[in-house]
Amino acid sequence: MCAAFSLLAQVQASASRTTTTITGTRIRTSVSTFASSTAAQTLALAKKQITFSGVLVPQGTALRKSKGMKRIGNIYGKICSMDNLILADDIARKGKKDQYGIKVHDRNRMGNLEALRDQLLGRTFKTSKYTTFKVYEPKERDVYRLPYFPDRIVHHAIMNVLEPMFVSVFTADTYSCIKGRGIHAAARAVRRALRDEPGTTYCLKFDIRKFYPTVDHRTLKDLLRRKIKDQDLLWLLDGIIDSADGLPIGNYLSQYFANFYLSYFDHWVKEHLQVKYYFRYADDIVILGPDKQDLHLVLLKCTDYLADQLRLAVKGNYQVFPVAARGIDFVGYKFYHTHTLLRKSIKKRFARTMRRRPNPQSLAAYYGWAKHANCINLIKTLSRESVQPIQHYCYVPRTCGRQNQDRQNT
């Protein structure tokens, strides 16, 4: 950074020396014009270098506020405005109008929203008590649930304003809970990368051990302060973060906090390690490369970074393997260079669903998975064995998947 400032000063000085005075008027010569152009280009380069050095956190150093990043402020009033609270209420209730909590809230909707605005402006709002329940698909997890009013409305009110800030930090290789960047966007990106067969010979696949429960609150708050300077908003976010251990699964804000928590790691992998093929869906990470030993070295560096910077641990079941031999099990699919299959567990659930009389919504969900893979034979087989053929619910094209049809999922 110092070298960039020194270079800039030298160019600006040379530009000032290439001027001459004629009859009291300073006229820049053609050399001066060239020097000014060079100075402008060097200024832009210097600024880019300064910003770059500020964005990345070198491995082994403590997290710190970046001087090159502009922080946002004076947005708490927008979050607390009645217009935003009404909009948040409208969004939060979509598809849930028959829930008991919404019916109770609607008995005095405007009065509740006005009271909520007063709590936010007076900084008396507190996160309500959680209730928890377990889900067992695909594995056992504790899911946290908050009341519709006031908590879910507050979370949507925050994201109505903050979502553009969060998305601006994410890399193009980050998926999950981002508009336009879900499962199928991640699958398309992996398929595009696999067209470069020599550059994707091997795959490194790992995830983070108990990611949501082990997110460190202090580190998350420090990261948020690198982007936000509004003290009232930071007070509100701190209260929500401290309302449960880690990040509670089920909170609307948790999915954005989770992506944001790993966003600087994403930048570090892409820009410091210079990894070309990198994909992250929540805490599942896939890295592709031409050399097995290089991927082992990348794994070692990622493990150290996650432990030192974010206090996270890589799960012990990491894998480095040839793509052609095993395929990449990621976002519900198994990817090869020549074709894409459904994950085995999803295929089994699809078959179980088809054996009984499925409702259109369930069938459409599974068909949505299958149509993005090479599964035409699978769909035909399940349609013959099911109580009601799949064609009864949705149109099945002659081919499913856009890749090689020689190898089908049967």
User: Pick from 105, 121, 312: which is nearest to 209 by CA?
Assistant: 312
pLDDT tens per residue across span 215-228: 999 999 999 999 99
Question: What confidence score (pLDDT) does residue 37 get?
Answer: 44
Q: Return d(Cα 39, Cα 282) in angstroms, integer.
A: 43
Residue with tokens 């290439």: 18
Phi-psi region of 123 (alpha: psi -120 to 50; beta: other; left: phi over 0): left
137 burial (CB, 10 Å; 0-12 / 13-18 / 19+) is exposed
pLDDT at 358: 73
Is pLDDT larger for residue 297 or for residue 36? 297
The reported pLDDT for the residue numbered 280 is: 98
Half-sphere exposure of 71 (CA within 13 A, CB side): 18
Task: With beta carbons less than 8 A apart as the criterion, state whether 373 and 346 touch.
Answer: no
**H/E stretch holding 346:** helix 344-355
pLDDT of the residue at 294: 97
User: Percentage of residues in the chain with pLDDT exceeding 70?
Assistant: 76
pLDDT reading at 3 higher than 90: no
C-alpha gyration radius of the chain: 27
- What percentage of the chain exceeds 90 in pLDDT? 62
Say which amino acid occupies 320.
V
pLDDT at 119: 97
d(CA 385, CA 272): 52
Indicate whether 405 pLDDT > 80: no
Please give the distance of CA 70 from its chain centroid, rounded to a whole number.
20
Mean per-residue pLDDT for 181-206?
Answer: 96
Rounded CA separation 332/329 (Å): 7
pLDDT recorded at residue 22: 35
| DSSP letter for each residue of 359-410 | -HHHHHHHHHHHTTSS-HHHHHHHHHHSSS-GGGTS---S--SSS--SS---
pLDDT of 257 reads 97
H helical segments located in 122-245: 153-169, 183-193, 211-214, 217-225, 231-241
Q: Name the pLDDT band for 384 (thresholds 50, 70, 90).
A: low
Pairing of strands 319-322, 202-207: antiparallel
Residue 70 confidence (pLDDT): 82
Q: Which range has the worst mean pLDDT, 18-32, 130-144, 335-349?
A: 18-32
Averaged pLDDT, 284-297: 98
More confident residue, 273 or 410: 273
Q: Distance between CA atoms of 74 and 243, rounded to whole angstroms?
A: 24
Whole-number Å distance between alpha carbons of 332 and 349: 12
Task: Answer with the residue of higher pLDDT: 358 or 123.
Answer: 123
The widest CA-to-CA distance across the chain, in whole angstroms, is 98
For 239-283, the pLDDT digits (tens) are 999 999 999 999 999 999 999 999 999 999 999 999 999 999 999
Evaluate the omega torsion of the peptide bond into residue 360 and state whether it is cis, within 30 degrees of 0: no
Answer yes or no: is pLDDT of 10 > 80: no
Instruction: Give the span between the Cα atoms of 64 and 54, in whole angstroms.
Output: 9
Rounded Cα gap, residues 249 and 270, in angstroms: 28
Average pLDDT, the chain: 81
Whole-angstrom distance, CA of residue 221 vs CA of residue 370: 41
Stretch 115-133: mean pLDDT, rounded?
96
| Cis peptide upstream of residue 138 (ω within 30 degrees of 0) | yes
Is the pLDDT score of 12 beyond 50?
no
Number of helical (H) and strand (E) elements in the chain, helices listed first: 17, 12
Write the Ramachandran bin of 327: left for phi over 0, alpha for psi from -120 to 50, otherwise beta: left
What is the rounded CA–CA span in Å between residue 210 and residue 311?
12
DSSP string, 49-64: HHHHHHH---TTS---
| Strand 284-289 to 277-281 pairing | antiparallel
CB atoms within 10 A of CB 114: 13
Closest CA to 285 of 204, 349, 375: 204
The confidence score (pLDDT) of residue 4 equals 47
Q: Would you state the pLDDT for residue 347?
A: 81
Please give the model's pTM, rounded to 2 decimal places. Answer: 0.77
**pLDDT given at position 50:** 34
Identify the sign of the CA torsion 122, 123, 129, 135. positive
Residue 402 confidence (pLDDT) above 70: no
| pLDDT, tens only, 354-375 | 777 777 777 777 777 788 888 8
How crowded is residue 96: how many other Cβ atoms within 10 Å of its Cβ? 11
Looking at per-residue pLDDT, the higher value among 183 and 7 belongs to 183
Residue 69's pLDDT band (cuts 50, 70, 90): low
- Of 40-44, 55-59, 208-212, least confident by mean pLDDT is 55-59
Note whether 181 and 175 are within 8 A (CB).
yes
The band of 389, judged by pLDDT with boundaries at 50, 70 and 90, is low
Q: What end-to-end distance do the CA atoms of the chain give, in Å?
A: 58
At CB < 8 A and 24+ separation, what contacts does 163-169 make? 163/256, 165/72, 165/227, 165/228, 166/256, 166/259, 166/260, 169/227, 169/260, 169/263, 169/264
